[in-house]
Amino acid sequence: MKIIWLSHSLNGRTPLYGGTKDLTFSPSKSIDRGDSCNTSILVLPSHAGTHVDAPFHFVPGGKTVDMLPTESWIFTSPCLIELQSLPGKLINPEDLPPRSNLSADVDLLLIRTGFEKYRDDDIYWANAPGLSPSLAALLKGHFPTLRAIGIDFLSISSPAHSEEGRQSHREFLGRDILIFEDMSLVEIGPSERLSQVIALPLRFANADGAPCSILAWVNGK
């Protein structure tokens, strides 16, 4: 068994939705300048880098990150599916693999499209894929234990389908399905199986979303 990161490191090149540049890192103290230690000031949106969308993000009165119980962040039946997706394409129910290939008690569904390879290019934020609103009801209906989904592109809302994207957020979050966006799924090998995933969000009051550090325990088949 090995443990891998499913989250990207935050840095000044981290892509943000809409191509905004709202994330900055700057040193406040520096040993090289004669200070006693090194410290930094971070300015970042709540949805920067690998992050979670909490229900409050799109659901009035929905739970915030800090309201969710500790067990919300531990997944003992995670499942990874592979889907090919073109830029700007909405992933629809017919794009999913046969349900027989998925664990019946899945609590975290990770969708790997390979779009992560474009993360350093403008296409990653300008023309990413998205998830169809119809997926939420379908997945929750077939997998009642589902508590979260995760993707290897910037957002379930594709810039090419913004209204559908807003509706997708409402459909998933309205069913108490957390959304992990901008994940790193490339390190999961083709013959490996996820046994557990733990997501640790930055906890602050009234958080509609938060950057996350995510770890996965992986077994070879």
Task: Find out whether 179 and 130 touch, Cβ atoms under 8 Å.
Answer: no
**Which residues make beta-bridge pairs with 149?**
109, 179
Residue 29: pLDDT band (50, 70, 90) is very high
Sign of the alpha-carbon torsion through 164, 179, 118, 135: negative
- Answer whether residue 102 shows pLDDT above 90: no
Domain boundaries 2-9+45-220, CATH class: alpha beta
Given this model, what pLDDT does residue 172 score?
Answer: 98
Q: pTM of the predicted model, to two decimals?
A: 0.96
Residue 53 pLDDT > 90, yes or no?
yes
Q: For the chain, what percent of residues have pLDDT higher than 70?
A: 99
Supply the pLDDT for residue 58.
98
* pLDDT reported for residue 100: 63
